[in-house]
């Protein structure tokens, strides 16, 4: 098993981190301006794609191999469903629950988003509340809005 941990800097966004195991993303921390991790000086094509995404390019990330094994079958189905939501579109928590095969489980879909460990690869920023943007954990709603604006969803 080969584990690779990479810290990268996305211009105007900050420093983010990736952890890959045998080439599959198992954890992704979105870039944040107050992060202090030292940027890794290795070249990964995936890091180039992430930087291009944050520069505003329409970079496909849905086919990047990721670890979709979660502690519940519902969470795994949420992850799979969310990966199919295209850039520039949003779904509500209730719609995500329905896409994952559990209509009426909007709160559980929200719990999944709050625990998401795969950043852009399972794009929880594309999940909004029925009446507003909803929250975005420690990053805050401003970060979520910025991601959605970058994707042309707002």
Per-residue confidence (pLDDT) for residue 138, from 0 to 100: 85
For residue 138, give Cα distances in angstroms to 9, 76, 91, 114, 143.
19, 23, 21, 10, 9
Q: Is 22 left (phi over 0), alpha (psi -120 to 50) or beta?
A: left
Q: Could you tell me if residue 60 is inside a domain?
A: no
pLDDT digits (tens, 9 = 90+) for 24-81: 999 999 998 865 556 666 668 999 999 999 999 999 898 899 998 888 999 999 999 9
Is residue 124 annotated as part of the catalytic site, yes or no?
A: yes
What is the reported pTM?
0.88
Q: At what angle do helices 106-114 and 73-83 cross, to 10 degrees?
A: 80
Tell me whether residue 67 is in a domain: no
Query: Token digits for 44?
Result: 């990964």
Q: What percent of the chain has pLDDT over 70?
A: 94
Q: Are residues 107 and 144 in the same domain?
A: yes
With a CB cutoff of 8 Å and minimum separation 6, the contacts of 38 are 7
> Do 85 and 17 share a structural domain?
no
- Do 41 and 101 sit in the same domain of this protein? no
Q: Within this chain, do residues 40 and 88 fall inside the same structural domain, yes or no?
A: no
Q: Is residue 28 part of a domain?
A: yes
* Residue 29 belongs to a domain: yes
Beta-carbon contacts of residue 131 (< 8 Å; ≥ 6 apart): none
Given 42, 78, 113, 124, the catalytic residue = 124
Confirm whether 64 is domain-assigned.
no
Contacts of 130 (CB under 8 A, 6+ apart): 92, 93, 94
- Nearest Cα neighbor of 57 from 154, 133, 151, 153 is 151
Tally of domains in the chain: 2
66: in domain: no
Domain span at 111: 73-150
For residue range 114-151, what is the model confidence (pLDDT) as tens digits?
A: 999 998 999 999 999 988 998 898 899 999 999 999 99
Q: Are residues 88 and 19 in the same domain?
A: no
Domain of 79, CATH number, reads: 1.10.10.10
pLDDT of 4 > 80? The answer is yes
Q: Of 60, 116, 117, 72, whose CA–CA distance to 93 is shortest?
A: 116
């Amino acid at each position: 098993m080969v584990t690779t941990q990479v810290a990268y800097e996305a211009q105007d966004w900050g420093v983010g981190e990736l952890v890959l195991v045998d080439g599959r993303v198992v954890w992704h921390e979105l870039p944040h301006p107050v992060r202090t991790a030292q940027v890794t000086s290795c070249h990964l094509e995936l890091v180039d794609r992430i930087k291009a995404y944050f520069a505003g390019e329409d970079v496909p990330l849905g086919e990047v191999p990721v670890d979709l094994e979660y502690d519940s079958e519902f969470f795994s189905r949420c992850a799979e469903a969310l990966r199919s939501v295209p850039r520039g579109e949003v779904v509500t928590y209730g719609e995500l629950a329905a896409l994952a095969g559990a209509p009426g489980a909007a709160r559980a879909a929200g719990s999944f988003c709050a625990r998401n460990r795969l950043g852009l690869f399972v794009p929880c920023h594309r999940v909004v509340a029925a009446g507003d943007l909803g929250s975005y954990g420690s990053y805050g709603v401003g970060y979520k809005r910025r991601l959605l604006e970058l994707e042309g969803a707002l």
